[in-house]
Structure 1
Amino acid sequence: MPIAINSDEVLTPPVAAATVMVVRDGPAGLEVLLVRRHGNSGVLGGVHVFPGGKLDAADRRTDPAALDRPAATCLAGLGEPGLDVDTALGLHVAALRETFEECGLLLGQANGARHVQPVREQTATGIAFAAALQAQGLPIPTACVLPWSRWVTPRVPSVTNKRFDTRFFVAVAPDDQTVEHCAHEATEAVWLPPRTGLERYWAGEIDLAPPQIMSLSELSRLADVAQVLATARSRPPSLIEPEPFDEDGRRVICYPGDPRHSIATRVWPGPTRLLHRNQRFEPENGLAALLG
């Protein structure tokens, strides 16, 4: 379904959120997990996205004693001046929680498959995700979600009427677990090579929002999980503040490194702008620009 363009300014501050690009090595190379949001969802209905969601108050209240490493290490990994340690920890917990809630995956747990149902039963009663892990004698494995990028929705969002400050993480899929998408929030979960995801988008088989388009473009240049993890560990998370403008009656979103963006330094090797045409967002030079 076509993505409607928003032109209203949002005056409220962006909501903190976390999303996870769960990756694995498939027969043809790197694969990433995408879930299709319900068509009646208030945010990006019908669009294929990475699992994720808003930071909950309970995520910030996680017991530091249950962590696999000091909370200060979580803060340092995000590399954000002015960010407090509770929020940094909460974002890592939110990444783990949302992946479990939307896909049924317990990331970073040895033999985690046998704990999926007990944790699900406890969280269904209202127990916080981190507390449910503790009740099973499991650590809070913050080290398994590696910061990748930070996307801050502009004051005039293009594809929603809400603003988010979303930290993108990467994580390796557990070998012993099977994806089970949340029937309340999604209609399917699929593993796709990043290149295939972009090709299916270009063919009109799936819908993608700009952050997913550009993130898949980045991942399409990496061969396997080892390269993804090495890339995440080699640099601080990229700060991406899209700057939209209208030109010739259509929306254009530019990114760092674009001549129209306020930041001259590129954050990825792919295209620096997307144009809304053909009822979707596309790079000026077509699919080849996304695939490099």
Structure 2
Amino acid sequence: MELNHEIIDTPPRDAASVVMLRDGAAGLEVLLMRRHTDSAVLGGAYVFPGGKVDKEDTAPDLLARLDRDPAELHARLGEPGLTPAQAAGLYVAAAREAAEESGLLYLQLGDAEVATRSAEACERLRTGTTFGALLAEREARLDTDALAPWSRWITPRRPSVMNKRFDTRFFLAAAPAAQETRIDDFEVTEARWLPPRTALQQYRAHEIDLAPPQIISLLHLMQYADVAAAMQDARARRPALVEPEPVETSETRVLCYPGDPMHSVPERALPEPVPTRVVWRNKRFEPPEGFGPFLD
């Protein structure tokens, strides 16, 4: 994508994403979905299921279908600048977008019942049925307890990857039991369950494309042995706030994160050994020392 590198003065659009996890034969696996190559945002890249918050995500009748009070969800996110309804709407958007893109539903109806209806329900969401109407028909509640706030990424005002700005909250979640991934083959054209290490190896080999938030998140996920460990850690701490700061050097582009010597925030947002910057080399963002120390 051609970037104009001019300062973007418009505020970032609220968005939400679900980092879906499962335990595989080789350990922790994460769901990555390939966006359609014609998509205006990260076309062709492999991302976590997610998208923009819609006005309907904070509708009172829909918020009444949550398993938790909006005030409790507001406290979990740890963002004083939001209202409880706005915080709850982020949970709704995360679950709705996950259902539309991956075919996986987070509802409190019992694993077997949700599994038998998930394909039909997600198809209806894709064709215009509102999330609130679907929950009301099923007399179901949205399972916000399944979604653990994990990190918050705000696109920088000076573009380095894309010319649109988003304020995206990432939630960790175990894949719902007994459900199968089903893509819409419109916004999303492929789904892969991969160990974080394998996903990064494929990215390094130019087999898949990833954006910096996914690269850093996958490096972060490598520290967890299984889903239980990842979920426990996410629920034990406040979500990390990551506001990348781009730096142009004579050789390349650099994206710095909190804790980096060139970032305005001196304290780390993400734990070691997650790098505090990535650099653009060989048409790839990678840690300054390359992926070797992490993957080889």
TM-score norm. by structure 2 comes to 0.94
Q: How far, CA to CA, are the matches of 1:196 and 1:124 in structure 2?
A: 31
Contact 2:154 2:243 in 1 (8 A): yes
Task: Report the CA distance between 1:118 and its aligned residue.
Answer: 4.1
Q: How far, CA to CA, are the matches of 1:124 and 1:151 in structure 2?
A: 26
Contact 2:204 2:284 in 1 (8 A): no
| Cα distance change on mapping 1:121 and 1:250 into 2, 3 Å | closer
**Alignment of 1:47 onto 2:51:** no
Task: Report the CA distance between 1:108 and its aligned residue.
Answer: 4.5
1:243-284 alpha-carbon deviations (Å, 9 max, x no partner): 001011421100011000011111221111111111121111
Q: How far, CA to CA, are the matches of 1:208 and 1:121 in structure 2?
A: 27
Once the two structures are overlaid, the 10-residue window that deviates more, 93-102 or 128-137, is: 128-137
Q: How far, CA to CA, are the matches of 1:246 and 1:155 in structure 2?
A: 14
Paired residue for 1:12? Answer: 10
Contact 2:100 2:123 in 1 (8 A): no
Paired residue for 1:94? Answer: 93
Task: Report the CA distance between 1:231 and its aligned residue.
Answer: 0.7
Q: How far, CA to CA, are the matches of 2:77 and 2:60 in structure 1?
A: 18
Once the two structures are overlaid, the 10-residue window that deviates more, 280-289 or 85-94, is: 280-289
- 3-state SS of paired residue (1:166): strand
Task: Report the CA distance between 1:62 and its aligned residue.
Answer: 4.5
| Cα distance change on mapping 1:162 and 1:247 into 2, 3 Å | same
Taking the TM superposition and a 5 Å limit, the aligned residue runs for 1:58-207 are: 58-63=56-61, 64-109=63-108, 110=110, 111=112, 112-120=114-122, 122-124=124-126, 126-207=128-209
Paired residue for 1:31? Answer: 29
1:128-154 alpha-carbon deviations (Å, 9 max, x no partner): 113212211211111111100000011
1:52-95 alpha-carbon deviations (Å, 9 max, x no partner): 00000110114333211111111011101211111101100000
Task: Report the CA distance between 1:238 and its aligned residue.
Answer: 0.2
Paired residue for 1:256? Answer: 258
1:75-129 alpha-carbon deviations (Å, 9 max, x no partner): 0111012111111011000000001000100124422112224423543553311
Contact 1:283 1:289 in 2 (8 A): no
Contact 2:246 2:256 in 1 (8 A): yes
Contact 1:201 1:208 in 2 (8 A): yes
Contact 1:271 1:289 in 2 (8 A): no
Once the two structures are overlaid, the 10-residue window that deviates more, 69-78 or 100-109, is: 100-109
**Which of 280, 284, 292 pairs up with 2:284?**
280
The letter for the 2-side match of 1:196 is T
Taking the TM superposition and a 5 Å limit, the aligned residue runs for 1:202-213 are: 202-213=204-215
Q: Which runs of 5+ in 2 are unaligned?
A: none
Contact 1:150 1:240 in 2 (8 A): yes
CA RMSD of aligned residues (A): 1.6
- 3-state SS of paired residue (2:64): helix
Residue identity (%) = 52
Contact 2:107 2:140 in 1 (8 A): no
Q: How far, CA to CA, are the matches of 1:6 and 1:114 in structure 2?
A: 48
Contact 2:35 2:43 in 1 (8 A): yes
Contact 1:23 1:171 in 2 (8 A): yes
Runs of 4+ in structure 1 off by over 4 angstroms are 3-6, 289-292
Task: Report the CA distance between 1:289 and its aligned residue.
Answer: 4.5
Q: How far, CA to CA, are the matches of 1:23 and 1:214 in structure 2?
A: 16
Q: How far, CA to CA, are the matches of 2:217 and 2:199 in structure 1?
A: 11
The letter for the 1-side match of 2:199 is G
Q: How many residues end up aligned between the 2 structures?
A: 290
Taking the TM superposition and a 5 Å limit, the aligned residue runs for 1:220-259 are: 220-259=222-261
